[in-house]
């Protein structure tokens, strides 16, 4: 049953009596998609790029039995978006004035798509997503299929479409069913400017009332979390503006409102480490205090540890200056 949900091979990672339950009820009761209860958690997996085949999202039943359930479920959710009219009649999937605040659209356009429009293209019976660049762009009048995109664009597009599910168009604040968003490795393939854009989208989720869990290996993600923690504790009267500046975005009233809500949220940070027996342990490092005597907290769970070692190695290569005092 573990392999049904987690993927082939994971059945060997648990003993025969292991189970996953919530409020005393066994969760892994069936390997099939169920409509018996409404979902509460929207899961965007790290393998999201494989949910596209030739520029088109795959349906749930196109996967093998041993493929991870969350990958299949996410893929089906993205596929279902196109059955609801998104991208039809030549309208751009991005930028779309009915979806996302203007400041968010501008950030995505500047740091990820660089002036390109995300369109749904149909040729005979084949459908695919393309990036269309206008004649005045650096690429000229160009239409790029999925495999010609940058790694960051290929990683970000499924993430963006997943977020469309959580950030509905119009005046609807949030999805009817989902209360939680779990996002694995939101930074994959992205420059720090692109990571800041993704974090702004995550802040938008918090602004709309979702509870969010992310996993990351990117120090820049924790840079921004540390900024939130530090600004919250500061006595500044310009916290919202300073957080917008930390994100690298021009100041605007809409972004300040998002920042104001985020600064009131409770944020916890955990590091998954190996103990002396080479087993995983989970440790609370929420303070992210660089001056902490606890190396796991000061080193942000190891994400900044290598940079520290590199800096020390370079520092040791420099000649030391000796100062001598002359007696009068």
13 and 121 housed in the same domain: no
pLDDT of 2 reads 64
Residue 24 lies in a domain: yes
14 and 55 housed in the same domain: no
pLDDT of 172 reads 82
Which pair of structure tokens corresponds to residue 263?
Answer: 């600064």
Provide the pLDDT confidence category of residue 160 given band limits of 50, 70 and 90. Answer: very high
pLDDT of 304 reads 84
Residue 46 lies in a domain: yes
60 and 150 housed in the same domain: yes
Question: Average pLDDT in the 31-58 region?
Answer: 81
78 and 128 housed in the same domain: yes
Provide the pLDDT confidence category of residue 9 given band limits of 50, 70 and 90. Answer: confident
Question: Average pLDDT in the 203-211 region?
Answer: 96
Is the pLDDT at 132 greater than 80? The verdict is yes
140 and 2 housed in the same domain: no
Question: Average pLDDT in the 304-310 region?
Answer: 79
59 and 159 housed in the same domain: yes
Q: What is the dihedral of CA 270, 276, 277, 282, to 10 degrees?
A: -10
Residue 318 lies in a domain: no
pLDDT of 127 reads 85
With helix as H, strand as E and coil as C, how does the chain read?
Answer: CHHHHHCCCHHHHCCCCCCCEECCEECCCCCCCCCCCCCCEEEECCCHHHHEECCEECCHHHCCCCCCHHHHHHHHHHHHHHCCCCCHHHCCCECCCCCCCHHHHHHHHHHHHCCCEEEEEEECCEEEEEEEECCCCCCCCEEEEHHHCCHHHHHHHHHHHHHHHHCCCCCCCCCCCCCEEEEECCCCCCCHHHHHHHHHHHHHHHHCCCEEEEECCCHHHHHHHHHHHHHHHCCCCCHHHHHHHHCCCCCCHHHHHHHHHHCCCCCCCEEEEECCCCCEEEEECCCCCCCCCCHHHHCHHHCCHHHHHHHHHHHHHCCCCCCCCCCC
1 and 132 housed in the same domain: no
9 and 99 housed in the same domain: no
2 and 84 housed in the same domain: no
Q: Which residue has the higher pLDDT, 166 or 125?
A: 166
Q: What percent of the chain has pLDDT over 90?
A: 54
159 and 22 housed in the same domain: no
Residue 126 lies in a domain: yes
Residue where a domain terminates, one of 242, 267, 292? 267
Residue 37 lies in a domain: yes
Residues 271 and 296 sit within 8 Å (Cβ to Cβ): yes
Residue 315 lies in a domain: no
11 and 73 housed in the same domain: no
Per the DSSP assignment, residues forming a β-bridge with 183 are 44, 214
Residue where a domain terminates, one of 267, 290, 314? 267
124 and 250 housed in the same domain: yes
pLDDT digits (tens, 9 = 90+) for 187-202: 999 999 999 999 999 9
Is the pLDDT at 10 greater than 80? The verdict is no
Burial of 199 (0-12, 13-18, 19+ CB in 10 A): buried
- Domain with 17, as residue range(s), is 1-31
pLDDT digits (tens, 9 = 90+) for 179-188: 999 999 999 9
Residue 313 lies in a domain: no
Which of 137-141, 145-149, 251-255 has the least mean pLDDT? Answer: 137-141
Provide the pLDDT confidence category of residue 168 given band limits of 50, 70 and 90. Answer: confident
**Number of separate domains in the chain:** 2
Provide the pLDDT confidence category of residue 141 given band limits of 50, 70 and 90. Answer: confident
| pTM listed for this prediction | 0.86
pLDDT of 217 reads 94
- Mean per-residue pLDDT of the chain: 86
Residue where a domain terminates, one of 219, 236, 267? 267
Residue 282 lies in a domain: no
């Amino acid at each position: 049953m573990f392999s049904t949900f987690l993927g082939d091979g994971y059945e060997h990672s648990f003993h025969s009596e292991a189970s996953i339950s919530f409020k005393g009820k066994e969760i892994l009761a069936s390997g099939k998609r169920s409509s018996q209860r409404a979902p509460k958690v929207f899961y965007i997996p790290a393998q999201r790029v494989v949910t596209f085949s030739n520029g088109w999202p795959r349906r749930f039943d196109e996967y093998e039995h041993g493929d991870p359930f969350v990958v299949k479920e996410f893929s089906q959710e993205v596929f279902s978006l196109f059955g609801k009219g998104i991208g039809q009649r030549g309208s751009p999937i991005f930028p779309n004035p009915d979806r996302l605040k203007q400041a968010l659209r501008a950030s995505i356009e500047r740091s990820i798509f660089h002036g390109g429009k995300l369109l749904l293209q149909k040729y005979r019976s084949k459908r695919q997503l393309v990036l269309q660049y206008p004649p005045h762009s650096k690429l000229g009048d160009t239409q790029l299929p999925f495999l010609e995109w940058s790694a960051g664009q290929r990683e970000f597009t499924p993430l963006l479409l997943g977020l469309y599910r959580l950030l509905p168009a119009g005046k609807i604040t949030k999805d009817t069913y989902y209360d939680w968003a779990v996002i694995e490795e939101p930074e994959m393939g992205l420059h720090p400017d692109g990571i800041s854009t993704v974090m702004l989208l995550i802040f938008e989720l918090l602004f709309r009332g979702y509870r969010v869990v992310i996993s990351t290996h990117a120090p820049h993600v924790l840079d921004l979390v540390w900024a939130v923690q530090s600004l919250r504790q500061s006595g500044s009267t310009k916290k919202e503006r300073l957080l917008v500046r930390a994100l690298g975005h021009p100041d605007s009233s809409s972004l300040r409102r998002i920042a104001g809500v985020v600064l009131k949220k409770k944020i916890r940070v955990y590091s998954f480490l190996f103990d002396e027996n080479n087993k995983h342990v989970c440790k609370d490092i929420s303070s992210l205090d660089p001056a902490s005597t606890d190396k796991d907290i000061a080193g942000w769970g190891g994400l900044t540890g290598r940079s520290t070692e590199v800096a020390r190695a370079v520092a040791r290569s420099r000649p030391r200056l000796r100062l001598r005092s002359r007696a009068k």
